[in-house]
Structure 1
Amino acid sequence: MECFCEQKETYELKVEGDVGADPIWCNQCGCNLDIEDIPISNTLTNELIEWVNRYGEWIDWDEDKLLPNGIELEEEHNKQGLTLTGKTKKELEGKYRIKFSPSTMARMYAHKNH
């Protein structure tokens, strides 16, 4: 997979949620990778897309504040992300090193609004 690294290719990936982005990133340069380029099953691709599309459900975007149960919602999202990272590691075993980068957005909002 091509990224912005000097060697133009990465074997170190991370699973990370963000608004409007695919859930797979180069762990070296931070480039957001096209999930269609990742050699994983369609089932896992769909699970990852569903997961990333729920990113930020713990934020009231109109009011720019954390929802009352926001920390718990984010923790649940991170648990699901960790599970999906395990599935991704299994499917890409021997080809890529993969880590999970949990969201800390709810905690940032919690501190910001106090």
Structure 2
Amino acid sequence: MSSLGKLSPDIVAVRTVTQRLVLLLIGFFALAILLTRLPTFINAASGETWQIRGGQIPLMQYPAMPERSVVANRQLIAMLKPGDRILVLDSAPFRPWKKVMLIGEESRIGWIRVTPALGAIRLE
């Protein structure tokens, strides 16, 4: 019997594992690209205007100072209600806190925490 053209079982196993790993990495990168392209508030860019659609959202002051107490460092500025418009001032994709300005009579500036339950739509 000739063994020309046949691969050993070890080489076939390594090739299969390598192909699956490459497909998994391609899928992961495709998902990451898709998630950064979706118009969701978690990846809102600075300068965009959004309208709140969900429930009330607290607009807080100084959110990222863990060395101090929660009460002293996350003071409530206002409660955002459905229909309120906000302008994103400082934003990094997939970060939990976004610096925003409330658009209206009271142009208050503060931070809101992005959660999956936060309903907002981007205004053009």
Both structures adopt the same fold (TM-score exceeding 0.5): no
TM-score bucket of the superposed structures, by smaller chain: under 0.3
- TM-score, L = length of structure 2: 0.24
Larger strand share, 1 or 2: 2
Larger helix share, 1 or 2: 1
- TM-score, L = length of structure 1: 0.26
